[in-house]
Structure 1
């Protein structure tokens, strides 16, 4: 009954809901049961695609999740072709390299957990998405509000053209590339390069008591990757067939004087995915962001095929991804103070001593949030 009440209340929110968050907000709900949460978006982009499976842990405070390991996960296309997923990290099940969805095809997610429980998503159809016609940027000296402070930022806007057909539902997201000069930070400790490749921080009593923080320069080029943590969706009910002009996609903090590269993705999602995201958006105004795991009460399109009464959180989405990149040189922000990457703290490299091997440089380890490979469209 509580879940049904939540759904009814959430549906009265506005059709178009952009919610911009600079940093995640802790989700505070209480639960005395463990609920499975399954999330994943598959599309026709070149990215490596995966399904996330985790389970909430009973808690009286912030919700925490544990990865669900050793599951069998697959995607069925058009009711016949099957793509098996491989668990490359705890609870993360990756599709084969090069997998891409196709407009007009249908997809179903199938999961069998290690305890034998079996889950299946509703059928999702790949919908065609229009191209992004233009990205533009505007510097705002007081673009972001953090507490009582106004921070400088660059606002990113999008132009597109809605298709003549009714019933389109758009989701926008962005990915930010920032050049990073320091690849390791050690608190109350110093950095050593073993074990490779990440190395490790070794704590000492003197550094810990002095609350010393050392930062270590990158051994080569490195870029940090930031992803949008906002839910930016829109129905075409009031814009059917018309231009979508100056849609605010996000606000990028003025981290540094160097330029940045922004990649914007536009997707046309299903009506049920739109309804799910709208509920999540309304909850995230006070509870979190798209990057957070949704509250246990937010049920998606996946069910236990042997127990229809089991609550399963998360959502399986299929999208036709249209992306566009924009280089921003930040020269319009000259005269303003950058925020930096350390919450206002200045970089503090370990001072050189008698040991010629110190301080060492840190490897830029490729991950979801960092890459040593220069992004396409980057300018020095």
Structure 2
């Protein structure tokens, strides 16, 4: 027994010593206070507006990814003259309407901070983006694969980038016909403008989508992958639309975006590409060594929208509701078995949402109810139909 306790004592002492010697490791990169300028956007040479987003990087130890910057002066400058000043829209966004730039000239982006620092991109040529031929989709590996077809008969585009905006129509798990009146604190029927069953939600692309026909004899992109949607996603529940925007790139811009994609989306295993230094075309005029993140291209934009209805998908594809929703429970005005005023306890004061009336003899004696997440679509979307929305 003495040996046993001696053994346990020794183990405990070693554990204490090991713990005492352990020191937190905080590499310098985590605490470095480097607020590098980040420039995002495309200078649109055609009929669309130009939107440039400016932000600053933050320390890795901070919760936010970037910090938007305001009160900067942002302008598009022509190599042979011409100055177009963008207006601040707040939250680091700067915008100007269609500029109709001369496709035979070169342009750059010029940025001035309130402190007088000046940043400028290289003067770059204007790229003319060919139209999008079509957007298609097909079931693939239990998901819906969306793809793009485009081409340039002159064979002088070769490098492409796309981004997109998605919008989808969906409904709550259960339709709530009743609501607790905010003034009377009683359950009443919903007015038409209080309906929360059908909603619309939107999202923007968060990945880098590129395509190249450099190694082909013809400048053709056939079924270039855009995005995939899982077969049971809420996006496919009723009706879905995607607005795809296409940009022509120079070879240098394509290489920048390709490296950025590798660094941000294709890391994580020993078989993935190793991180590489990102070299954009934006510089501090007075301090070329200062790192700047971003690449400014000048091009026209082509866009196309398609709608996908759930009737166009395989019949066995059923959207999975994002919350676990049991069948609505029942609440009576007064339950004689328990002596509880259930409507008052569970719905009016309990925060549950009334779904339908319980009226076995024509008189309402209570309501079924469920949670807000299962009955109110506005927690994930909005009831207002987008102006561009079309039904089948």
State the TM-score, normalized to the length of structure 1: 0.65
Deviation at 1:300, TM superposition (A): 1.5
The whole-number CA distance in structure 2 between the counterparts of 1:317 and 1:31 is 33
Which segment is superposed worse, 263-272 or 307-316?
263-272
The whole-number CA distance in structure 1 between the counterparts of 2:105 and 2:376 is 45
The whole-number CA distance in structure 2 between the counterparts of 1:49 and 1:227 is 17
Aligned 1:235-314 pairs, distance under 5 A = 235-253=212-230, 254-255=233-234, 256-286=236-266, 298-314=278-294
User: 2:160 is matched with which residue: 165, 170, 186?
Assistant: 170
Q: 1:57: which partner in 2?
A: 58
Q: 2:317: which partner in 1?
A: 336
Q: 2:298: which partner in 1?
A: 318
Does structure 2 retain, via aligned residues, the 8 Å contact 1:42–1:101? no
Deviation at 1:80, TM superposition (A): 2.0
Does structure 2 retain, via aligned residues, the 8 Å contact 1:34–1:55? yes
Does structure 2 retain, via aligned residues, the 8 Å contact 1:174–1:262? yes
User: How many pairs were matched up?
Assistant: 294
Q: 1:379: which partner in 2?
A: 391
Q: 2:139: which partner in 1?
A: 139
**Structure 2 residues without counterparts, runs of 5 or longer:** 1-28, 173-179, 183-192, 269-274, 329-350, 356-365, 367-371
Higher normalized contact order (CA 8 Å, seq sep 6+, divided by chain length): 1
Instruction: Give a deviation string over 1:319-356, Cα, whole Å, max 9, x none.
Output: 2222222221122243333144xx445599952599xx
The whole-number CA distance in structure 2 between the counterparts of 1:370 and 1:71 is 33
Does structure 1 retain, via aligned residues, the 8 Å contact 2:165–2:205? yes
| Rg larger in structure | 2
Q: 1:121: which partner in 2?
A: 121
Which segment is superposed worse, 115-124 or 256-265?
256-265
Instruction: Give a deviation string over 1:187-210, Cα, whole Å, max 9, x none.
Output: xxx9x9xxxxxxxxxxxxxxxxxx
Deviation at 1:311, TM superposition (A): 0.8
Deviation at 1:251, TM superposition (A): 1.3
Instruction: From the superposition, tell whether residues 287 and 176 of structure 1 become closer, same or farther in structure 2 (CA, over 3 Å).
Output: same
The whole-number CA distance in structure 2 between the counterparts of 1:98 and 1:242 is 28
Instruction: From the superposition, tell whether residues 321 and 102 of structure 1 become closer, same or farther in structure 2 (CA, over 3 Å).
Output: farther
Deviation at 1:172, TM superposition (A): 2.2
Quick check: which one's helix share is greater?
2
Q: 1:108: which partner in 2?
A: 108
Structure 1 vs Structure 2 CA RMSD: 3.9
